[in-house]
Structure 1
Amino acid sequence: MQKKWWHTKTAYQIYPKSFCDSNGDGIGDLPGIISKLDYLKDLGIDIIWLSPIYCSPLADQGYDISDYYNIDPRFGTMDDMDRLIAEAKKRDMYILMDLVVNHCSDEHEWFKKACEDPDGEYGKYFYIEDCPDGKLPCNWRSYFGGSVWEPLPGHPDKYYLHMFHKKQPDLNWENPKLREEIYKMINWWLDKGLAGFRIDAIINIKKALPWRDYPANRADGMCSPGEMLKHAVGVGEFLGEMRDRTFLPHSAFTAGEVFNEKPEELPDFIGDNGYFSTMFDFNEAIFGGSEKGWYDQTPITPNDYRSCCFASQKKIGDIGMLSNIIENHDEPRGVSRYIPEGECTLTAQKLLATMNVMLRGLPFIYQGQEIGMENVEFQSISEVDDISTLDEYQVALDAGLTPDAALKAVNRVSRDNARTPFQWDASANAGFTTGTPWLKVNRNYTKINLESQKNDPDSVYQYYRRLLALRKDPAYSKTVVYGDLLPVFEDQDRVMAYYRKSADQTLLVIGNYKTQPQTLTLPSKIKNIVLNNLPQLKTDENEITLEGYQAVVLEV
């Protein structure tokens, strides 16, 4: 694997709507982000990914873009964006935007023109089909429930395809003219000084054509989108062309949201000449998923979490570098998901941080993760904003769950868990806004907030700072960034441990994922305790006893 400038960095995802509101309208904005750059730099962050800030009707919180060339006034102006890029540069930081090109908004100019003339030039930018008598081309279900086909406004016999929300019509990548428009837009942003992109839902750009039905997997008679993706062949032609026309000439950094990739395709995706610089590891996030819906999902155990992480590491090997996440804007809070119920202490939160950040790959911290923000307890479905959660709530009700049980089921994995405002301090609205927040602040903000942790050496925040500093510490950086990863103690119940080995150094990362102490015999002597989430470590010759949820990084 060739060494790249970004390998030694740490990345951070900002959900702009919920990060920091500078003008009191209840919505986070670009000036708010600029005001927190020094905070992020001090935390140890180098690369910042912004979830979408383009003009959008927000049917799917900005992932439905109505103008790729403009900033939504809710978030600020293009001058603010230019200032953010410039201020980040001064601090040796890099800004990424979200690249959402599987679909746009139904309020985009292209779609409006397609509605005016479905058989004209812009009609070919989308998948529009004649459906006399409402007979649909295929039985695919959208990611947000219901058919992927929707009547084209003004044309009752014509339908358009949307793999996501009906306000997110899919763009037709088979059309070279459409691709040219996308490449022009990407280059326009990169010429502005953007460092690169996180690339949204990109596998979906290749459809299995011609349209056909697949076996239904729910009572609605439809199949999941993932079923179609198994049959779609040739996405690499589009991705290679996009890389060569845009990312490569600008030496841009790109992180792909890639699901359903085939193992043999990994070198094509993130090898030395991959379509992307890196891709996210979702192995832990997708664990326990059910075709029936969220209500039927199997909770992940500590042993499952360990297995998922190690499977991803083994699969990638030395092909390239993964981006490792605990949570993001589409997932619940990691400390509420990966730590068993009733065991979520500060020590346990630090263990989870250690196990993830010390893996081989680029750590992506999601806003609030560094202070241990937790899931929300929604009292009613009326408190939920997320379209995916609302759909899954209905799926649970249709399956026979009571409203209380359905709410509890979707609470656990709702995307709104990660979208509540950042908890800066214990003042009104957690210091996020002087107005009314667009989404309610988590009720626990008086206990969990940055201000209370900033100067506490024992806090989750200060632990994250120490952990992230290890990537840059000359004494350990080479091993932490490039060292091999070798699992150890895999047969030990609720112990997660692995070596990070370089030519002249061996680190042992080890965590007791239990509330009770565990004693282990180490294969070699401890030279140095590099990091410990508790004040002491009990050692006796080659034996160590780890307290409940104790995690250590040892040089051996």
Structure 2
Amino acid sequence: MQKKWWHDKVAYQIYPKSFMDTNGDGIGDLRGVISKLDYLKWLGIDVIWLSPVYQSPFVDQGYDISDYYKISEVFGTMEDFDELLAETKKRNMYLVMDLVINHCSDQHQWFQNALADPYGEYADYFYFRKGKNGGPPNNLRSNFGGSAWEPVPGTDLYYLHLFAKEQPDLNWTNPTVVQELYTMVNWWLEKGISGFRIDAIINIKKDTNFPDYPADGEDGLASAAQMLRSVNGVGTYLEDLKHQTFEKYDAFTVGEVFDMKPDELAEFIGENGHFSTMFDFSQHVLTYGKHGWYDAEPVTVEQWKKAVFQAHREADPIGFYSTIIENHDEPRGCSTYLPEYAQNSLGAKLLGTVSILRRGLPFLYQGQEIGMTNCQRNSIEEYDDISTRDQYSLALSQGLSPEDALARCARYSRDNARTPMQWNGGSNAGFTTATPWLAPNPNYPQLNLDVQMEDPDSVLHYYQKLVALRKSPDYCKTFVYGSFQPVFEKEKDVIAYLRQDEKQCILVAANLRKDAVSLELPSETAQVLLSNLPASDSGKIICLQSCQAVVLKLK
């Protein structure tokens, strides 16, 4: 594998709206990010992924962009952004932006121009189509519920939106649109950012005949995924995007890719793939039910283990995945992948150990390093997420009580990860002096960064040691380029693997049973590199207590 500058890095996602508010308006801002750079450096972070800070009406929390060249005033100014970029560089850190180019906001000037002249030049920046039989052009369902088509006022036309109706899809068959997007991408790269996380990118390829698909719900509609799986050729778009933009700047790119065809992985993340890497969502898809997530069952340890191991079998011969246990679109990992009896500090340390030492580029999400958890709300009005409201309504329509529907939201809503960062036990978790845009998790007086900073046995200090171990000169090469080999697979609720190269072999093992388990090692232990409970550094038998994770260098 050709070595790249980003291979040995550790990344951290910041959701700016919930990270740190410095101007007292209840919303996080860029100056708040600047104020925490030294903390992130202490934690061992190299790459910061900044969720969207562009101008937006925030129908979908910034993923509806109305001007790609402006910073939203709720986050600050372009001068603030430039200062943030300069300060990251001073600390030898890298800043990665979110790139949202499947769709824009209906407030973007392009779409406003299209509405003003639905048969003119700008209408072709989007998918404006005539209706059929008195209804939409076809039966595609939006990812947020309802038809993916919205009427164009005063006409018999509809426009396509695979997400919210305020997020019209951009027409990638129009070379003018594509060139506009390339110019914008290069503008940001010229500014000095190090790359992009690329949002919902596989959606850019459509069947522009827009046929009907077999209905997969009682609403008579078909999921957009059916169309994505039926079309070919998205790689042509992605290769041109890479050559016209990213490649020129040696930029790091990580794709958010769902519904990829099984044989396309090498095209996406191989030696000359479309992207540097892409997120491993194999465990996240376990949180899907038949109709979204409201009807999903809890994830078991064995399901999680099998998903992780299968992801490595598929990806490791080809390239690098980016490994995560949570992000802004997912519930908190501690509340999702751990049994109830393991949803504590030991479990949080275990989850981090298994995730960060896998083969691939580790991404932490803000608050993960202190073990932040899901948040129970009292009513749907306390949520500020379009997807959660859709799933709540769907649950009610299927006969669930309001209490049961809320319980499903507490398990899988995206807002679980969007509650304010818990900095301290003071007012609003130290996030803001005002009323926060989203109420903090009520557990913040006990679970916060200040408390954990003072406790050497905390989740926070464990994460700092974990990141330092992965990056240490003695072990970095093994953790970055070494093989990943699952072991003890038949041991129920035990997840273990070897990281190995020509110089050394390291065992990562975690026990999620209620009771202890003894494992016979392939060779004697030479050294305990890290453990969340006391562990022996000799012999071929190791006894793991419930919720224990160990990292052992073997002889």
Give me the TM-score of the superposition, normalised by structure 1: 0.98
Shifted more, 335-344 versus 158-167: the winner is 335-344
2:127 aligned partner: 127
Q: Does 1:212 align with 2:182?
A: no
1:549 aligned partner: 547
Deviation at residue 132 of structure 1 after TM alignment: 6.3
What's the CA shift string for 1:51-107, capped at 9, x where partnerless?
Answer: 100000000000000000000000000000111110000000011111000000000
1:429 aligned partner: 428
Deviation at residue 538 of structure 1 after TM alignment: 4.8
What's the CA shift string for 1:385-419, capped at 9, x where partnerless?
Answer: 11100000011011111111111112210000000
Deviation at residue 507 of structure 1 after TM alignment: 0.3
1:43 aligned partner: 43
1:79 aligned partner: 79
Distance in structure 2 (CA, Å) of the matches to 1:74 and 1:178: 28
Alignment of 1:129-278 (within 5 A): 129-131=129-131, 134-152=134-152, 154-278=153-277
What's the CA shift string for 1:438-467, capped at 9, x where partnerless?
Answer: 000110000110000113110000000000
Distance in structure 1 (CA, Å) of the matches to 2:535 and 2:470: 23
Deviation at residue 272 of structure 1 after TM alignment: 1.6
What's the CA shift string for 1:25-56, capped at 9, x where partnerless?
Answer: 00000011001000000000000011100000
Deviation at residue 291 of structure 1 after TM alignment: 2.4
SS of alignment partner, residue 499 of structure 1: strand
Judge conservation of contact 1:16–1:50 (CA < 8 Å) in 2: yes
Q: 1:466 to 1:244 in 2, by over 3 A?
A: same
Alignment of 1:243-322 (within 5 A): 243-322=242-321
Q: 1:382 to 1:288 in 2, by over 3 A?
A: closer
SS of alignment partner, residue 426 of structure 1: coil
Judge conservation of contact 1:217–1:291 (CA < 8 Å) in 2: no
1:504 aligned partner: 503
- Give the unaligned 5+ runs of structure 1: none
1:526 aligned partner: 525
2:106 aligned partner: 106
Deviation at residue 155 of structure 1 after TM alignment: 2.5
Judge conservation of contact 1:538–1:546 (CA < 8 Å) in 2: no
SS of alignment partner, residue 471 of structure 2: coil
Judge conservation of contact 2:132–2:138 (CA < 8 Å) in 1: no
Letter in 2 for 1:550: Q
Letter in 1 for 2:138: C
What's the CA shift string for 1:519-547, capped at 9, x where partnerless?
Answer: 1111211111111111x225773211111
2:62 aligned partner: 62
Judge conservation of contact 1:9–1:471 (CA < 8 Å) in 2: no
RMSD after superposition: 1.1
Q: Does 1:406 align with 2:409?
A: no
Deviation at residue 270 of structure 1 after TM alignment: 0.9
Judge conservation of contact 1:54–1:71 (CA < 8 Å) in 2: yes
- Give the unaligned 5+ runs of structure 2: none
What's the CA shift string for 1:352-400, capped at 9, x where partnerless?
Answer: 1101111000000000000000000111111111110000001101111
SS of alignment partner, residue 39 of structure 1: helix
What's the CA shift string for 1:204-223, capped at 9, x where partnerless?
Answer: 00012311111111110001
Judge conservation of contact 2:246–2:252 (CA < 8 Å) in 1: yes
Judge conservation of contact 1:539–1:545 (CA < 8 Å) in 2: no
Q: Does 1:15 align with 2:15?
A: yes
Distance in structure 2 (CA, Å) of the matches to 1:519 and 1:353: 22
Letter in 1 for 2:18: S
Shifted more, 316-325 versus 487-496: the winner is 316-325
Judge conservation of contact 2:321–2:360 (CA < 8 Å) in 1: yes
Distance in structure 2 (CA, Å) of the matches to 1:409 and 1:288: 11
Q: 1:453 to 1:7 in 2, by over 3 A?
A: same
Shifted more, 538-547 versus 298-307: the winner is 538-547
What's the CA shift string for 1:176-205, capped at 9, x where partnerless?
Answer: 110000000000000000111000000000
Letter in 2 for 1:225: A
SS of alignment partner, residue 129 of structure 2: strand
SS of alignment partner, residue 478 of structure 2: helix
SS of alignment partner, residue 508 of structure 2: strand
Deviation at residue 341 of structure 1 after TM alignment: 2.1
1:393 aligned partner: 392
Distance in structure 2 (CA, Å) of the matches to 1:318 and 1:221: 41
Shifted more, 454-463 versus 126-135: the winner is 126-135
Distance in structure 2 (CA, Å) of the matches to 1:23 and 1:65: 23
1:4 aligned partner: 4
Distance in structure 1 (CA, Å) of the matches to 2:451 and 2:288: 36
Distance in structure 1 (CA, Å) of the matches to 2:164 and 2:281: 22
Alignment of 1:376-387 (within 5 A): 376-387=375-386
Deviation at residue 515 of structure 1 after TM alignment: 2.4
Deviation at residue 119 of structure 1 after TM alignment: 1.6
Distance in structure 1 (CA, Å) of the matches to 2:62 and 2:134: 30
Judge conservation of contact 2:88–2:95 (CA < 8 Å) in 1: yes
Judge conservation of contact 2:252–2:276 (CA < 8 Å) in 1: yes
Judge conservation of contact 1:530–1:553 (CA < 8 Å) in 2: yes
Distance in structure 2 (CA, Å) of the matches to 1:288 and 1:334: 11
1:374 aligned partner: 373
Distance in structure 1 (CA, Å) of the matches to 2:328 and 2:313: 26
Distance in structure 2 (CA, Å) of the matches to 1:159 and 1:285: 33
Deviation at residue 240 of structure 1 after TM alignment: 0.3
Letter in 2 for 1:122: Y
Deviation at residue 268 of structure 1 after TM alignment: 1.1
Judge conservation of contact 1:132–1:157 (CA < 8 Å) in 2: no
User: Would you identify which runs of 4 or more consecutive aligned residues in structure 1 move more than 4 Å?
Assistant: none
SS of alignment partner, residue 101 of structure 2: coil
Shifted more, 71-80 versus 270-279: the winner is 270-279
Letter in 2 for 1:544: I
Deviation at residue 150 of structure 1 after TM alignment: 0.2
Alignment length (residue pairs): 554
